[in-house]
Amino acid sequence: MAPAMYFTFVALFISGATAYTNYTVGGKSGWFFDQNTNTSSANYADWAANQTFDLGDYLIFNTNTNQTVVLTYNETTFRSCSIDNSSDSDTFIYGQGNENFGQPLTVAVPLTIVGLNYFFSDANDGIQCENGMAFGINVSHGVGLPPNLNQPPPPPYVEPPSNADGSLTPTVTNESSGAGLSVGGNVHWMVWYSFMLCGIFALLLV
Ligand SMILES: *[C@@H]1O[C@H](CO)[C@@H](O)[C@H](O)[C@H]1NC(C)=O
Ligand SMILES: *[C@@H]1O[C@H](CO)[C@@H](O)[C@H](O)[C@H]1NC(C)=O
Ligand SMILES: *[C@@H]1O[C@H](CO)[C@@H](O)[C@H](O)[C@H]1NC(C)=O
Ligand SMILES: *[C@@H]1O[C@H](CO)[C@@H](O)[C@H](O)[C@H]1NC(C)=O
Ligand SMILES: *[C@@H]1O[C@H](CO)[C@@H](O)[C@H](O)[C@H]1NC(C)=O
Ligand SMILES: *[C@@H]1O[C@H](CO)[C@@H](O)[C@H](O)[C@H]1NC(C)=O
Ligand SMILES: *[C@@H]1O[C@H](CO)[C@@H](O)[C@H](O)[C@H]1NC(C)=O
Ligand SMILES: *[C@@H]1O[C@H](CO)[C@@H](O)[C@H](O)[C@H]1NC(C)=O
């Protein structure tokens, strides 16, 4: 029993410490596109071809808001260099929503599905993707997903429930807990004094 627990613990420790790798896409070149020359800052297909990827690894995109990061499992979407006809279930867009160009941006994408994972930038109406901002990787199982990634995606955002509807959040009233305790304390003292008085009466009677 004890040795089994020990080995489980050691295995967990080792896998937590060494099993997963964070890959910086393009290495020092990052994930950038030069609009003046229509060139990407690295050859990402070559970069990807020289690595092995496992579940639980991350791709780190060091970039700015002039590029996007699209992950898709759908080869048709990848080849189209566009998210126009893509489905929310197989295509995920990172780094969108900033109105300002050129703002520094780091995108960390966990690898959670075995097999072909495609990445591209859909900025500049596909021109970036058509000119090198695109690559595919083949993700292997490795040791499997770590617990923090091995769960269903979070449900869509809903308004936090109010306290009135029986939610699990404690109801906060203006009756502070300090006041409640001091009331309890007073009761304690009254009981205590009552006992003392009874005792004194009893002694007097004897
Ligand atoms: C890998 O990147 C993720 C997401 O940014 C981070 O939570 C994790 O700590 C990183 N792991 C390592 C070994 O740097
Ligand atoms: C970049 O490529 C697109 C087509 O892919 C072309 O329309 C555009 O003129 C090119 N721009 C430059 C600066 O070469
Ligand atoms: C992979 O990277 C190593 C070291 O950077 C390099 O020597 C090798 O030529 C690369 N291989 C491929 C297929 O790109
Ligand atoms: C892939 O995406 C295209 C649209 O880009 C869609 O028509 C097709 O059904 C998708 N394929 C799968 C297997 O979901
Ligand atoms: C999306 O689908 C429409 C209608 O089928 C098609 O005309 C268009 O070219 C498609 N767009 C892309 C980027 O594949
Ligand atoms: C980002 O894009 C804007 C608009 O296209 C351009 O003016 C700017 O030079 C770009 N910045 C960088 C850092 O590429
Ligand atoms: C991906 O890798 C697996 C083995 O790790 C292999 O069986 C499979 O054929 C590869 N898929 C592609 C499309 O290369
Ligand atoms: C609690 O007290 C604050 C002021 O002390 C008051 O504005 C607020 O309406 C009170 N809330 C309740 C639920 O009584």
151-196 pLDDT per residue, tens: 766 556 666 655 555 455 555 555 544 444 444 445 555 555 565 6
Written as six digits, the tokens of 180 are: 């409640």
Residue nearest atom 14 in ligand 7 by C-alpha distance: 138
Question: Ligand 7: which of 52, 53, 116, 138 to mutate, judged by most atoms within 8 Å of the beta carbon?
Answer: 138
Check pocket membership of 72 for ligand 4, CB cut-off 6 A. Answer: no
CB atoms within 10 A of CB 142: 18
Pocket of ligand 2 (CB under 6 A): 36, 38, 127, 130-131
First to last CA, the chain: 65
Closest CA to 124 of 84, 67, 171: 67
| Phi–psi pair at 143, nearest 5 degrees | -95, 5
The pLDDT of residue 151 is 75
Pocket of ligand 1 (CB under 6 A): 22, 58, 108
Q: In angstroms, rounded to a whole number, what is the distance separating the alpha carbons of residues 19 and 141?
A: 11
Written as six digits, the tokens of 36 are: 């003046």
Quick one: DSSP state of residue 104? Answer: E
Q: In angstroms, rounded to a whole number, what is the distance separating the alpha carbons of residues 134 and 131?
A: 8
* Cα 186 to middle of ligand 8, angstroms: 26
The pLDDT of residue 95 is 76
Question: Ligand 3: which of 50, 135, 137 to mutate, judged by most atoms within 8 Å of the beta carbon?
Answer: 50
* Cα 29 to middle of ligand 6, angstroms: 17
Question: 119 near 74, Cβ under 8 Å?
Answer: no
Written as six digits, the tokens of 79 are: 């080849």
Nearest ligand to the C-alpha atom of residue 52: 7
Q: Return the ligand 2 atom nearest residue 126 CA.
A: 5
Residues with pLDDT less than 70, the chain: 1-18, 152-206
Instruction: Give the number of C-alpha atoms closer than 13 A to the C-alpha of residue 152, restricted to the C-beta side.
Output: 3
Q: In angstroms, rounded to a whole number, what is the distance separating the alpha carbons of residues 64 and 35?
A: 13
27: region left, alpha or beta (phi > 0 left; psi from -120 to 50 alpha): left
Question: 86 near 92, Cβ under 8 Å?
Answer: no
In a 3-state reduction of DSSP, which class is residue 111? Answer: coil
The pLDDT of residue 132 is 97
Closest CA to 105 of 60, 62, 59, 58: 62
* Cα 203 to middle of ligand 7, angstroms: 93
* Cα 199 to middle of ligand 4, angstroms: 87
The pLDDT of residue 9 is 47
The pLDDT of residue 19 is 82
Nearest ligand to the C-alpha atom of residue 132: 2
Q: In angstroms, rounded to a whole number, what is the distance separating the alpha carbons of residues 205 and 189?
A: 24
- Identify the CATH homologous superfamily for domain 21-147: Cupredoxins -  blue copper proteins (2.60.40.420)
Quick one: DSSP state of residue 109? Answer: E
Nearest ligand to the C-alpha atom of residue 129: 2
Quick one: DSSP state of residue 194? Answer: H
